[in-house]
Amino acid sequence: MIHVALLDDHRSILTGLLRLLEPAHDVRVVAAAPDPAALVRALDGRRADVLIADYDPERGDTLTLCSRIKSRPTPPAVLFYTAYATPALALAARAAQADGVIDKSAPAAVLLHSIRAVADGQKAFPVVGGDVFEAAVARLEDGDLPVLALLLDGLTAPGIAEALHCDEREAGRRARRVVERLRPRLAFATARPDPGGSRSA
């Protein structure tokens, strides 16, 4: 059984996800909440295997939350379920140690397949083309590039600190800076439809 937690500040999305996942024989939703503090209370000490989290840059950045979660011992897989599922977000999410990015307009079968894949240790990301990668790297400084390479290899602060011969606090600061610089810009966000609307592209 895959234990899943849901995080989305649209109640309608949470309700829809609960209905969508309910028929799956191998998936059980153990908590659903509109914000991280409420999610902690809803979990009440239980562990989730997969966290399905919204990403909306206009209402808060869950990339930072993902980085914090992934820095803990035995973290859940993190799957962004978002109206902003572009290759640019996929790159930033990978740097934040997420396990996948799924568009909210994707069929239920795609979401379920992705949940099962990330619970099994696989990744579920859109393809990041060379043009997207180059545009993102252009926003980084030269000193950020080794950190990005280590993040894309799946290292968190302790591993980055060891590789770059610095302390963990400095490694964490540099990793957060890279994720922030990779975060899709608001100009991109405002061109997309409202995730609470009838369609998310």
Spans of all domains in the chain: 2-127, 130-182
Structure tokens at 60: 């808060």
d(CA 24, CA 123): 20
Structure tokens at 70: 């992934």
CATH 3.90.1150.10 fits 2-127, yes or no: no
Task: Supply the pLDDT for residue 19.
Answer: 92
d(CA 3, CA 46): 9
Q: Which of 71, 83, 70, 84 is nearest to 183 (CA)?
A: 84
Low-confidence ranges of the chain (pLDDT < 70): 59-60, 186-201
